[in-house]
Structure 1
């Protein structure tokens, strides 16, 4: 007599909208029936917190037993009821045909006729009708969950997930329910203001990341792990088999945080700021920065995108300045010594060699190139005054005017669509109030935000003498100064050279006056 081999499939979604028996109850029922029928249980799959809408092949536990190497170990798949197998009509019917293709049987404890019905066309038609009930119930569950999310989306409650850097999750009880909110985390707010100052002072994102890593500041993900009582970890280190206790900051993570509008207290949905019916951002918490602080920060971040050649090896004092005349790549700084090491030779070569064979002979002594750079730069800018770029926040009247006009257009469109037919008095009151505010804003002077130059009381020749190699390199890059290297020689590139902006700072409370001609847009 052939021994029947059964695989027991258990599943529960733990959805509050789904009333189903527990994993333990499913397990007990099927094992009791298997013992009564002398069926050998070869495996048990328990998919916990897995929706009935997930394809059987994609389920963590069951999917493993559907692979070629394991499905030869069993002949029958057991479930307590059809819902435990699937609530999706297309997934269910596709799986039935796949089981027939494999010459397997499905046994449903609550439906003894199921096994025989799946073997005939008429029976499969009945099974298809049976699958429509769970499928419709699944759609109703999805709709109830979606409706619940839609209701909460425009509230100031936290929808879930990791809170943005600068905030922490707090829970409050409302009407007997535990609700999640976010609030400012004072420790992280301090670090965000330091990051903003570094960015305003023209520090590279890589330098800011280094500062954070050296201070062992935890990322938002690591802070969330600590809040849950879990250890911090680094994905990059885990992939390499290393035991590093925390995630490291990078250029990308620093820039992502400094440009995240969540720092203004705005709620976001699918990466975008969520707005209410009036077009205003939905506020979910207090802001980290004021509007003026935020605008200055964004201007500083954008300014760093102008020049790509910022990150430099300390051993290459002219990275981004010395350019190969053969292929246009950045020059490499090479150092060599004589046999006894007593004499050092420095020179610049093509950074793309040996990939570019035509640039093999391009090489220039570093002393010649650097001396030529200094002479030409000081001839061009040495007599000019050093200026400091300062950020002048503009008035908010233009921005508010745009918002008010958008609200007026939205109200008028709603009125045309008949949304205000039953409440004409409120419509008239709201639109009159908006029009009055629009007229007030139109007569206010508009001062645009922007960078202006402020004289620093010295010339570039005086400044040059005080700068280190990296400081000089930055001045050259900002002035668009480039030197072409050839075979034993170097010469300036034939391009216009603009006056460099030395330092980025900000004016917190500027005098309301017209912007000077040197305004940098």
Structure 2
């Protein structure tokens, strides 16, 4: 008995006028019953474009694999379009079926099966495939034209909404249209992230708080909204259903600098601008202009250090530096065989790769005590300040925007975009230059950071910090301890007056000199 696999497909494109999956299914089953063929499987690819290779289709692709290929002899479709609209995919599949010794039956084209078996017949099939292929290109063009028309509207073009927003559907002119609006739950988290960033919290710290708070990423939120499980990727890059997608340093920074948070529409990764050079806004902004500027300044100004501690606690990691090669000192712990006592050292973190650094090692207690005493001698009397962002005046911000528009317009002119409309170009340029003149006449207050006294000295602050807080303070002050063979000394500090630790002269330091 003939073993038949029924293949059904529909893309559900508005521009594709074709029979439904149900109609295809009914026709194929009726013909199978009439010819007494045994149906071994039915593949229904719904919302799958005719441009997708048969091997990549969710349903049909499984039956084309080696382990299932021997279960059927003939592949049936209602018409050639249901098989493929792509001329190269179609012809490649025909040759592959011949290689496997299988047949293709098209209900609307009874001669198809015999034509695929001869060179002359395959030439005819190739000509037949050009019609669906051209129709596919027309469909793509109509869709692209539709996207182009909607690109500068306030509609949502499709895809996953940015973190902070959700997709909503409204009826416009009797049709359902997608927009985005603020999601209050995500907005709360975004404002928390901004507060942490402005307070100089590193991206790794923000990442940990988001992961610890079970905050879903934009992709996971979109999956949940569709009734699907969250999904993460393992180290092997394999999808894991049910596991959350975790935040990372990169995803945190990308989110905090994404101009989509201002409600701007983006196209191919860039903010979309109208004819006047203004950003196209499709939703309310998450942040005010001042809040956004403060956040961007904090992201730019935040000192990024590669001194991240690993394994056990190391109070001087990133502060203790190998004097031989400049790498971070590693914290090592050993235990005496005879007495069982624990001994801690800082050694070159690049040894044995850096052969010259063999033997560079200093007792951890000496390094840590020296760095505390030296830091307090150098900075303990200084006042602790907090950097606060002061936003500039509205005229300053608008002036920057006008200057940017003038530069953009000049660049367009250099590229020849205004060759056919010089009058419009001059009108826009004159209008922008006039506004620039008005703004320059206004008082300008530049945005910037100011230092606000926190009411204490570094010596008073030091007593309130834990080990990690002290380490961060040393890093922020660019304070470093150089590790040698059995000794340590502060980087870039002249040696004049003695420094006494527990009654012993350890090193000498000029207290007034700051490295």
For the aligned pair, the TM-score class normalised by the smaller chain equals 0.7 to 0.9
Query: 1:351-374 deviations in whole A, cap 9, x for unaligned?
Result: 345666665533211111112222
Counterparts of 2:344 and 2:333, CA distance in 1: 5
Q: Secondary structure at the match of 2:75?
A: strand
Aligned 1:220-299 pairs, distance under 5 A: 220-232=218-230, 234-236=232-234, 246-299=244-297
Q: Secondary structure at the match of 2:200?
A: coil
Counterparts of 2:411 and 2:353, CA distance in 1: 59
Query: 1:325-379 deviations in whole A, cap 9, x for unaligned?
Result: 3443322223455679985533223334566666553321111111222233334
Distance 1:231 1:132, change over 3 A: closer
Distance 1:213 1:16, change over 3 A: same
Q: Tell me which residue corresponds to 2:184.
A: 186
Distance 1:127 1:226, change over 3 A: closer
Distance 1:170 1:459, change over 3 A: same
Deviates most, 205-214 or 456-465: 456-465
Residue 222 of structure 1: CA displacement?
3.7
Q: Secondary structure at the match of 2:287?
A: coil
Counterparts of 1:358 and 1:411, CA distance in 2: 57
2:187, 2:286 within 8 Å by CA — same for their partners in 1? yes
Residue 322 of structure 1: CA displacement?
0.9
Q: Tell me which residue corresponds to 2:17.
A: 19
2:362, 2:488 within 8 Å by CA — same for their partners in 1? yes
Residue 181 of structure 1: CA displacement?
1.4
Distance 1:308 1:449, change over 3 A: farther
Q: Secondary structure at the match of 1:396?
A: helix
1:9, 1:44 within 8 Å by CA — same for their partners in 2? yes
Residue 207 of structure 1: CA displacement?
2.1
Counterparts of 1:226 and 1:171, CA distance in 2: 17
Q: Tell me which residue corresponds to 1:124.
A: 122
Q: Tell me which residue corresponds to 1:109.
A: 107
Q: Tell me which residue corresponds to 2:165.
A: 167
Counterparts of 2:391 and 2:62, CA distance in 1: 60
1:199, 1:301 within 8 Å by CA — same for their partners in 2? yes
Q: Tell me which residue corresponds to 2:88.
A: 90
Q: 2:419 aligns with which of 417, 420, 427?
A: 417
Distance 1:62 1:185, change over 3 A: closer
Residue 51 of structure 1: CA displacement?
0.8
Structure 1 residue 219 corresponds to structure 2 residue 221: no
Distance 1:66 1:226, change over 3 A: closer
Residue 69 of structure 1: CA displacement?
3.4
Counterparts of 2:480 and 2:12, CA distance in 1: 64
Distance 1:241 1:491, change over 3 A: same
Query: 1:265-301 deviations in whole A, cap 9, x for unaligned?
Result: 1112222212222221110111111222112211211
Distance 1:440 1:341, change over 3 A: farther
TM-score, normalised on structure 2? 0.84
Counterparts of 2:391 and 2:2, CA distance in 1: 79
Aligned 1:197-212 pairs, distance under 5 A: 197-212=195-210
Residue 88 of structure 1: CA displacement?
1.0
Q: 2:490 aligns with which of 486, 492, 517?
A: 492
2:10, 2:46 within 8 Å by CA — same for their partners in 1? yes
Counterparts of 2:3 and 2:15, CA distance in 1: 34
Count of aligned pairs: 490
Q: 2:66 aligns with which of 65, 68, 74?
A: 68
Distance 1:242 1:272, change over 3 A: closer
Distance 1:87 1:293, change over 3 A: same
1:307, 1:478 within 8 Å by CA — same for their partners in 2? no
Structure 1 residue 195 corresponds to structure 2 residue 193: yes
Query: 1:75-124 deviations in whole A, cap 9, x for unaligned?
Result: 32221111111111121122222223333322211111112222233222
Aligned 1:360-375 pairs, distance under 5 A: 361-375=359-373
Q: 1:334 aligns with which of 317, 332, 335?
A: 332
Q: Tell me which residue corresponds to 2:449.
A: 451
Q: Secondary structure at the match of 1:77?
A: strand
Query: 1:448-485 deviations in whole A, cap 9, x for unaligned?
Result: 43323344455444443443322322222123222222
1:404, 1:437 within 8 Å by CA — same for their partners in 2? no
Counterparts of 1:101 and 1:14, CA distance in 2: 32
Distance 1:355 1:299, change over 3 A: same
Residue 19 of structure 1: CA displacement?
1.5
Counterparts of 1:285 and 1:48, CA distance in 2: 32
Distance 1:253 1:407, change over 3 A: closer
Counterparts of 1:331 and 1:411, CA distance in 2: 53
Distance 1:289 1:191, change over 3 A: same
Q: Secondary structure at the match of 2:105?
A: strand
Counterparts of 1:65 and 1:260, CA distance in 2: 43
Deviates most, 233-242 or 187-196: 233-242
Deviates most, 254-263 or 467-476: 467-476
Query: 1:237-279 deviations in whole A, cap 9, x for unaligned?
Result: 9999999674444333322221111111111222221222222
Deviates most, 74-83 or 381-390: 381-390
Distance 1:313 1:267, change over 3 A: farther
Q: 2:153 aligns with which of 140, 152, 155?
A: 155
1:205, 1:251 within 8 Å by CA — same for their partners in 2? yes
1:106, 1:115 within 8 Å by CA — same for their partners in 2? yes
Residue 233 of structure 1: CA displacement?
5.4
Q: Tell me which residue corresponds to 1:400.
A: 401
Q: Tell me which residue corresponds to 1:503.
A: none
